[in-house]
């Protein structure tokens, strides 16, 4: 399971928690402008395109991105959507893109959400695995620029595209039901609530921090959607890079999963937040921290040669570094 969000101060920030029980040797990967992108059902090899930075699986021959941002500030992340995703058979009347190619295809070509929405009218997500050892994951996607976001879900009958006014995404159920569920929390506020329950009884304000009462605290995807909507809507920071990035990681921390709290299957598999990311989409700086390393690390795509034809990778720093002050 996972959670993704957008945050805007002076700059625009996009990122996510990657929650899973298995790591696939994730790494920061930069796809430069001249790296030849091959697509399974498109004859032409794309050799000139937008540069992309993000986190991918540890396979160096192809950018299998979990989430990424291109040099124009367009961002995209794939999140688990098991039980609802239905990839389709080849359609000769459509542009057939495999789900593992979806992020590199969109980010290599387009610069805005409006451009993507138009392109999606002709795209078919075709049911082709990357390999026998790496079958497709059931996903849905959030696609964002600095102005707007959409959610894309490949359902049984169609490729569904929703406007996403909150700029957030978690997992099941479908996005329209997640948004409808927010109606159940109309009374929630960041202020101490008034006594509308028993007006003839003097209910005590017994503690600070009573704003937000009624927000769910479990780790299910529906609860995380509500918690993320509340935290993001009420978040405050100044416009500095340090304050903005720090606040974004605090937003993601409100819905992170701790190892041991979400049992998956025997023997002893638990889902946890393997990494959290935050991209300054205006500057192309990819910040991340991992479960084993809470220090914020950064890779700036513009410090690399973006005109090369070779993938550029950085392994994630997973070991904690303590700052001793004496």
User: Catalytic amino acids?
Assistant: 2
Angstrom distance (rounded) from CA 65 to CA 45: 19
Angstrom distance (rounded) from CA 81 to CA 108: 24
Q: Is the peptide bond before 267 cis (omega within 30 degrees of 0)?
A: yes
Give CA separation, 57 vs 54, 65, 281, in Å.
Answer: 10, 7, 21
| Element holding 312 (H helix, E strand) | strand 312-315
Angstrom distance (rounded) from CA 241 to CA 10: 9
Give CA separation, 286 vs 23, 123, 168, 277, 296, in Å.
Answer: 19, 28, 19, 7, 10
Pull the structure tokens for residue 102.
Answer: 């979806």
């Amino acid at each position: 399971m996972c959670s993704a969000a957008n945050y805007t101060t002076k700059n625009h920030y996009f990122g996510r928690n990657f929650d899973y029980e298995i790591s696939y040797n994730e790494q920061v990967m930069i796809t430069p402008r001249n790296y030849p992108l091959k697509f399974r059902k498109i004859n032409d090899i794309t050799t000139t395109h937008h540069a992309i930075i993000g986190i991918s699986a540890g396979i160096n021959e192809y950018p299998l991105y979990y989430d990424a941002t291109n040099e124009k500030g367009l961002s995209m992340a794939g999140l688990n959507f098991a039980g609802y995703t239905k990839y389709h058979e080849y359609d000769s009347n459509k542009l057939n893109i495999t789900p593992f190619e979806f992020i590199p295809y969109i980010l290599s070509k387009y610069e805005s959400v409006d451009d993507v929405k138009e392109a999606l009218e002709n795209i078919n997500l075709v049911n082709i695995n990357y390999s026998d050892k790496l079958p497709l994951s059931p996903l849905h996607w959030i696609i964002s620029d600095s102005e707007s976001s959409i959610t894309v879900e490949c359902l049984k009958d169609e490729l569904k595209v929703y406007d996403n006014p909150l700029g957030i995404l978690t997992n099941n159920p479908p996005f329209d039901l997640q948004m409808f569920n927010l109606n159940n929390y109309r009374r929630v506020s960041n202020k101490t609530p008034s006594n509308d329950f028993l007006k003839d009884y003097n209910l005590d304000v017994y503690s600070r921090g009573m704003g937000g009462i009624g927000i769910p605290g479990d780790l299910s995807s529906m609860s995380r959607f509500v918690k993320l909507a509340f935290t993001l809507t009420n978040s405050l920071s100044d416009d500095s890079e340090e304050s903005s990035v720090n606040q974004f990681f605090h937003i993601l921390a409100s819905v992170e999963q701790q190892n041991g709290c979400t049992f998956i299957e025997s023997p002893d598999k638990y889902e946890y937040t393997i990494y959290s990311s935050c991209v300054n989409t205006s500057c192309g700086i990819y910040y991340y921290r991992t479960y084993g390393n809470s220090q914020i690390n950064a890779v700036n795509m513009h410090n690399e040669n973006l005109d090369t034809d070779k993938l550029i990778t950085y392994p994630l720093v997973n070991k904690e570094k303590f700052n001793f002050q004496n």
